[in-house]
Amino acid sequence: MSDKNTSAKIQTDIILLKQGEIVLKGLNRRSFEMKLVSNVNRRLKQYGNFHIYAVQSTVYVEPRDADCDISGAFEACRDIYGIVAVVRAAACRKDPDDIFNTAKVYLKDAIENAPSFKVESKRSDKSFPMTSIQLSQYVGGLLAEEFPDTPVDVRNPGFTVHLEIRDYSAYVHGPAVPGAGGMPVGSNGRVVSLLSGGIDSPVSTCMAAKRGLAIIPVHFFSFPYTSELAKEKVIELGHILTRRCGKMMLELVPFTHIQEEIRDNCPEELFTIITRRFMMKIADAIGRLNGCSGIITGECLGQVASQTMESMAVTQEGLELPVFRPLICLDKTEIIASARGIGTFDTSVLPYEDCCTIFTPKHPKTKPRLKDVLEAEKALDVQGLIDEALENIERIRL
């Protein structure tokens, strides 16, 4: 049953990355695939020299040499957006007996330790002489003889042997593990994301990246009111986020002078709202300078005084870029669960204050009126303060 047309050079260990929404993209699907392959290439450089390419709704990750850390690459692939499932597989010739022998060796421990097993096959290469059911029956029968202590259970198996017949070779593997899902980062444009040291903003940043957005994180710091440790905390959060968001340029905006001017010249109950308006205007300017199409915030409706509907309407007034709030209808327990899932929670709860917690009014306005805020801002050189902050931004490549 040998497949004489199969290349003699077959890679025996490979990672298969199953694409998600990309398969629905029609005529521009290839551009999404190319972005995904580029992201995988960049993410896996530290794990060795891999040949990475996309065929039949799957990205193939083939080690080029024995020095490749395929286990490290496998774990890294689980955090790459655009992938719904990750599989480590053995490749072999498209020959039923070779497929059986590969399964017997590659999955030996898994089958022996399982309470039961079955075989499932998929045949995308329709020139293969067996149907999927015939191949499953053939290989399953031989495996049942090879592992008599592990019974076959086709309805509720403890372990499933998966066989895939594809263009270049056959692949044998166990169950897939979930990928990060979403769209490839950078496939849907670029946004500015306001990144504080708290729990919410790293989650909203990741949610934006999951929808294919490249991220420019912006953090506002007010030294000496906020410490260097608070700044290092945000940089660490940025590094954690790169596992899912890819490479980023963190923009650290000096905010001390602005907050002191607000404190000295504006009504106390409006401190928070006016502070937030400056943040949004500066983020808007950074976004326009970097070709962004929107602003991402970690705001959640009703969570604090600046996150009522009235407050959010006032803080985004006058911006050129639209504001997106991925967390707007989530509750805190959902946000915390997401933070734990992306690995930012433990860093976010470190006890270092950010600039949002200084000069906090005792009784902040929860339903501010725009005309009152604009009147209060007349005491400030708004554009001058914004220009000063933009001129002194510190940038850190993540």
For domain 14-180, which CATH number applies: 3.10.520.10, 3.90.1150.10, 3.50.50.60, 3.30.2130.30? 3.30.2130.30
When pLDDT is averaged across residues 324-337 and rounded to a whole number, the result is 97
CA 50 – CA 37 distance, rounded (Å): 11
For residue 381, which phi and psi values (nearest 5 degrees)?
A: -90, 80
Structure tokens at 120: 């499932």
Q: What is the pLDDT of residue 359?
A: 76
| Amino acid letter, 353 | E
Q: Which of 145-149, 309-313, 362-366 has the lowest mean pLDDT?
A: 362-366
Would the pLDDT of 358 be above 90?
no
Q: Mean pLDDT of all residues in the chain?
A: 94
Q: What is the pLDDT of residue 181?
A: 96
Is the link from the previous residue into 178 a cis peptide, with omega within 30 of 0? no
Higher pLDDT, 74 or 363: 74
CB-based burial of residue 115 (10 Å sphere; 0-12 exposed, 13-18 middle, 19+ buried)?
Answer: exposed
CA 64 – CA 50 distance, rounded (Å): 5
Structure tokens at 384: 């001058």
Q: Taking the CB of residue 346, how many other CB atoms lie within 10 A of it?
A: 10
- The class level of CATH for 190-397 reads alpha beta
CA distances from 392 to 195, 263, 397 (A): 18, 21, 16
User: Running DSSP on this structure, what letter comes out for residue 94?
Assistant: S
Domain boundaries, the chain: 14-180, 190-397
Tell me the β-bridge partners of 59: 17, 54
Contact 182, 20 (CB under 8 A): yes
Would the pLDDT of 230 be above 80?
yes
CA 307 – CA 319 distance, rounded (Å): 17
pLDDT by residue (tens digit) across 144-199? Answer: 999 999 999 999 999 999 999 998 899 999 999 999 999 999 999 999 999 999 99
Contact 94, 29 (CB under 8 A): no
Would you call 179 helix, strand, or coil by DSSP?
strand
Would the pLDDT of 11 be above 60?
no
Q: Which of 4-8, 103-107, 306-310 has the lowest mean pLDDT?
A: 4-8
Structure tokens at 225: 């009111």
CA distances from 52 to 9, 80, 103, 180, 255 (A): 17, 14, 24, 18, 44
pTM of the model: 0.90
Same fold, 14-180 and 190-397: no
